[in-house]
A and B are shown apart, each in its own frame.
Chain A
Amino acid sequence: MTFADWLSEPVNWVYLAIGAAVVASAFRVVTSQNVVHAALYLVATLAGTAGLFLMMSAEFVAWTLVLVYIGAVIVLFLFGIMITRAPLNVEPGLDNPKARPLAAVVSLSLFVLLAYTSLQAFGSDQLTDVGTPTDTVTLAESLIGRFVLPFEIVGFVLLAALVGGITIARRDLTPLEEEERGAV
């Protein structure tokens, strides 16, 4: 399959647009010197990823990604940024400049390795039945049927994370404050 053949399918133009947006905003997530901008670029990356999921006929997961990540996780991140009082404007100390060359080498070689192995392994294999989305019934039957134990464990992990998060982030009272509370 040549590149011209590949490009003749209109769906691949959509892929190119979304993929370029995802990669560009992911690049800005790791290079932006403004913490809030980095978090907002992550929103763009995740929205583009949801678009890719829709292209791969995974509608339920795409909307889960939008709800959980863009709706909740990003809000948590912005909350974390605000509460750690990181300067909201450009901050030169956000990166460790000494680590940059080594990190670039590591990530580039990782990319070359991953891309090379997947290109070798899958060649020009096509996705199957692109037009027919996985219906939610299949997903639900799988979640509540074969994967019900991991499903329950994940629910328990969420509960543990909730309790643990509250316990860790709660400020312990000073002895003086404890005395005041006790007096009342």
Chain B
Amino acid sequence: MLVNQFLVVAALLFSMGTYGLLVRRNTVMILLSVELMLNAVNINLIAFEAYLRTSEAIGQVFSIFVITIAAAEVGIGLAIVLMIFRNRQSANVDEYNLMKF
């Protein structure tokens, strides 16, 4: 198996995540797109680990870190979304204009 075949899938996932990030209005959907992008990064890390085969499995260790941070990010992100939803009765980013000049 080539390294590139996995890198191309990761690039596709990352660019789709970018598309979702730019197009979505719903905050929860934006967080879903961010998860997609983090997942693409994980594929890259694992592919480079499978290519270089470091003695300490560094790529896999870092992908575990990424998974952990992503879980924390979702928790905090959804808490913020809940708080804003409670105050503004909306989950759409273009209606969050309180701090807009």
A residues 88-120 touching B (CB-CB < 8 Å):
93-96, 99-100, 102-104, 106-108, 110-111, 114-115, 118-119
Count A-B contacts at CB 8 Å. 255
Complex formed: what's the CA distance from A107 to B31 in Å?
A: 17
Interface string of B24-55 (1 = CB under 8 A from A): 11111101110110010011001101111101
Which of A69, A80, A171 counts the most B-chain CB atoms under 10 A from its CB?
A80
Q: Which of A37-60 contact B (CB under 8 A)?
A: 38-39, 42, 45-46, 49, 52-53, 55-58, 60
Q: Which of B1, B10, B67, B85 contacts A65 (CB 8 A)?
A: B67
B53 touches A30 (CB 8 A): no
In the complex, whether A4 has a CB less than 8 A from a CB of chain B is no
- Asked if A164 and B19 make an inter-chain contact with CB atoms under 8 angstroms apart, the answer reads no
Query: Chain B: which residue is nearest A141 at the CB level?
Result: B56
* A23-B12, A39-B32, A130-B50 known; A103+B79 contact, CB < 8 A: no
Chain A residues within 8 Å of B26, by CB: 35, 86, 94
* Contact, CB under 8 Å: A154 / B69: yes
CB distance from B65 to the nearest CB of A (A): 6
Are A49 and B43 touching (Cβ within 8 A)? yes
- A44 to B50 CA separation, bound complex (whole angstroms): 23
Prevailing SS type, chain A contact patch = helix
Bound together, the chains give a CA A129 to CA B60 distance in angstroms of 15
On whether the beta carbons of B71 and A55 are closer than 8 Å, the reply is: no
Pair B3/A127 contact, Cβ less than 8 Å:
yes
What are some 9 contacts across the A-B interface (CB < 8 A)?
A: A30-B23, A42-B32, A42-B35, A53-B42, A56-B47, A83-B85, A127-B47, A129-B53, A165-B78
Chain A interface (Cβ < 8 Å from any Cβ of B): 1, 6, 9, 11-12, 15, 19, 22-23, 26-27, 29-30, 35, 38-39, 42, 45-46, 49, 52-53, 55-58, 60-61, 64-65, 68-69, 72-73, 76-77, 79-81, 83-84, 86, 93-96, 99-100, 102-104, 106-108, 110-111, 114-115, 118-119, 122-130, 134, 138-139, 141-143, 145-147, 150, 154, 157-158, 160-162, 164-166, 168-169, 171
Hey, which bits of chain B sit against chain A, CB under 8 A? 1-20, 22-29, 31-33, 35-36, 39, 42-43, 46-47, 49-53, 55-58, 60-61, 63-65, 67-76, 78-83, 85-86, 91-92, 94
Counting from the closest, the 8 A-B pairs by CB-CB distance are: A30-B20, A103-B22, A161-B72, A114-B11, A111-B15, A107-B19, A56-B50, A169-B79
